[in-house]
Structure 1
Amino acid sequence: MFQSRQRIILELLKKYKYLRISKMAEILHYSTSTVRRDLIALEQQNLVQRVNGGALLIESKFTEAPVDIKKRIHLDEKRHIGALASNLINKNQSIFIDGSSTTFNLCQFLDPSLNLTLYTTNIDTAGYLIRNYSNFSVTIFGGELYDFEAGGNQTIVQLQQHVFDIAFLSCRGLDKKFGITDRLEKEAILKRTLENHAKKIVLLIDDSKFDEVLNFKDLSLSMVDVVVTNKKPSNEYLNLFRSKHIKVMF
């Protein structure tokens, strides 16, 4: 029965490419917890990738979720988060924006009058900033490219030469026990490095990523100054954030 369900899930993902867990549960008439367990098993076999409350079919263990798909998932929520986060930025600040689709949505809400100095590791993010904010200074860090983003040792060495006023980061999962996690080791290393290179760290995360745990530990939650999300977190998370003196915006 277990393997039969997994085969059905794979067939669904072949047809739709991406589905939310809630939609799979509705189609298959299973509980969301059952679907989630099946997806975990399929991800361990490198057959699917869990992402943002759903899953994608992948061709091999090296395949990352396509950029255009990630940008469309939870778009309204990400825009809401981006608009809120933009209120944290002041004039003449140096800002690091990571390569996630969530932080990408911050870019459209920047105030052109603020005279910002912007840094990123993502080609799409840098291109958007250059096209839309000709008065801003925009720097993209180099390194090994993956999914339109630079990472690896070269990127870390360059990043370590800077101290940013604010670093805007996202992640693939946030869990009360395991904290902030990501799928790729290079993503996690970059974010851990930023612990010592940003005066303020702001975590942008939509509600689908709560209670998700991925393979690699990011920076410590205690290093985060502000969490920006799209709706009020549970009381358990609010108490966790309060205990670590983290401001929450939603």
Structure 2
Amino acid sequence: MKDDRLSAIRQHLYSHGFSHIQSIADAVGASLPTVRRDLLTLEAEGAIVRTHGGARIADTVGTEIAFELREQANLAAKRAIADAAFEQLVPKSTVFLDAGTTVLQLARRLRLDPMPLSIFTNCVTVAQVLMDVRDLRITLIGGQLRPENASMVGPIAESTLERLWIDQLFLGGGAIAEDGCIYSLDEHEARVNQLMLSRSANKSLLVDSSKFGHRLTYRVEPLGADLQVFTDSNLPAEWRARLKNLSCPLTEVPLQQGRQG
């Protein structure tokens, strides 16, 4: 319980910036003395900086918390999507798992029910989740580490991808815009995603419904008939129609209302 509370405090401070101790206590449902002890622990770990009457997140751990927050967002939908995608895995095939947080849930699902696979990934977290799992041969491709996504990008990653041929790709997406294209926040991430798509036989996009109708800076690839989309049943009707017009195969995973993680 203490570990959960410490994580909750870190996430609260990342989301809200400087907070008074009373506000932190209210947010995590703990007493003031307990929160003061927790803040001392987090300060000793270098995770937060205590100031008069409150605390703020330490600058050096901001990207780590950001990744944690993205992983937890819409968690029920991501897990449901991962369950559906898991059924598409073909034993003894070569699979690429990218650095999306929904794809990470697929890795966690695979850890529970492993099968013989050769896994390539550019995500440090995916490699850590799967590194000791029987029947899996894991290759973490090299490159420049992008901490915001725990991903390997840049010329070395691109060169490696150009020499691979992948049976199955499971790709995440930062946003799906009105023009029917996948977008990324980062130029290097977008380039690596483009190469993954060009070097894969069977391609699946794992995105929860909140990603649709948004645009980020860098275009990755248009949706089309060769890209299977896995999403949750909260997908707006207009997007369901648009994907049909694009001849994009769609798998909608049932999701109970009010349980978004």
Structures share a fold, TM > 0.5? Answer: yes
The one-letter amino acid paired with 2:171 is L
Asked if the contact 1:165–1:199 (Cα under 8 Å) also holds between the matched residues in 2, the reply is yes
Asked if the contact 1:201–1:223 (Cα under 8 Å) also holds between the matched residues in 2, the reply is no
Asked if the contact 2:183–2:216 (Cα under 8 Å) also holds between the matched residues in 1, the reply is yes
Indicate yes or no: 2:29 matched with 1:14. Answer: no
The secondary structure found in structure 2 opposite 1:99 is coil
Asked if the contact 2:169–2:197 (Cα under 8 Å) also holds between the matched residues in 1, the reply is no
- Per the alignment, residue 160 of structure 2 pairs with 158
- Per the alignment, residue 170 of structure 1 pairs with 172
Determine the C-alpha separation between the residues in 2 that align with 1:208 and 1:97.
21
Gaps of 5+ in 2: 1-14, 20-56, 253-261
- Per the alignment, residue 50 of structure 1 pairs with none
Asked if the contact 1:112–1:135 (Cα under 8 Å) also holds between the matched residues in 2, the reply is no
Determine the C-alpha separation between the residues in 2 that align with 1:64 and 1:246.
34
Indicate yes or no: 2:76 matched with 1:76. Answer: yes
Q: List aligned pairs for 1:197-212, cutoff 5 A.
A: 197-212=199-214
The one-letter amino acid paired with 1:164 is I
Asked if the contact 1:200–1:225 (Cα under 8 Å) also holds between the matched residues in 2, the reply is yes
The secondary structure found in structure 2 opposite 1:219 is strand
User: Residue deviations 1:46-92, cap 9 Å, x none?
Assistant: xxxxxxxxxxx9x7xx9687222221111111111111111111111
User: Residue deviations 1:185-229, cap 9 Å, x none?
Assistant: 111101111232001111111111111110000122126521111
The secondary structure found in structure 2 opposite 1:166 is strand
- Per the alignment, residue 5 of structure 1 pairs with none
Offset at residue 145 of structure 1 (A) = 0.7
Q: Which runs of 4 or more aligned residues in structure 1 lie more than 4 Å from their structure 2 counterparts after TM superposition?
A: 62-65
Of residues 216, 241, 244 in structure 2, which corresponds to 1:242?
Answer: 244
- Per the alignment, residue 21 of structure 1 pairs with none
Of residues 206, 216, 222 in structure 2, which corresponds to 1:214?
Answer: 216
Determine the C-alpha separation between the residues in 2 that align with 1:65 and 1:183.
17
The one-letter amino acid paired with 1:188 is A
Gaps of 5+ in 1: 1-11, 17-56
Q: Could you state the TM-score of these two structures normalised by the residue count of structure 2?
A: 0.69
- Per the alignment, residue 38 of structure 1 pairs with none
User: Residue deviations 1:117-174, cap 9 Å, x none?
Assistant: 101011110011113x222110000001111321001101001111111111111111
Asked if the contact 1:95–1:117 (Cα under 8 Å) also holds between the matched residues in 2, the reply is yes
The secondary structure found in structure 1 opposite 2:70 is helix
- Per the alignment, residue 127 of structure 2 pairs with 126
Identity of aligned residues (%): 21
Determine the C-alpha separation between the residues in 2 that align with 1:141 and 1:14.
35
User: Per the alignment, do residues 223 and 145 of structure 1 end up closer, same or farther by CA in structure 2, a change over 3 Å counting?
Assistant: farther
Indicate yes or no: 2:115 matched with 1:114. Answer: yes
Aligned length: 198
Offset at residue 13 of structure 1 (A) = 3.7
Determine the C-alpha separation between the residues in 2 that align with 1:208 and 1:241.
15
The one-letter amino acid paired with 2:131 is I
The secondary structure found in structure 2 opposite 1:150 is strand
The secondary structure found in structure 1 opposite 2:214 is coil
Which is higher, the Rg of structure 1 or of structure 2? Answer: 2
- Per the alignment, residue 85 of structure 1 pairs with 85
Determine the C-alpha separation between the residues in 2 that align with 1:197 and 1:145.
21
User: Per the alignment, do residues 231 and 240 of structure 1 end up closer, same or farther by CA in structure 2, a change over 3 Å counting?
Assistant: same
Q: Could you state the TM-score of these two structures normalised by the residue count of structure 1?
A: 0.71
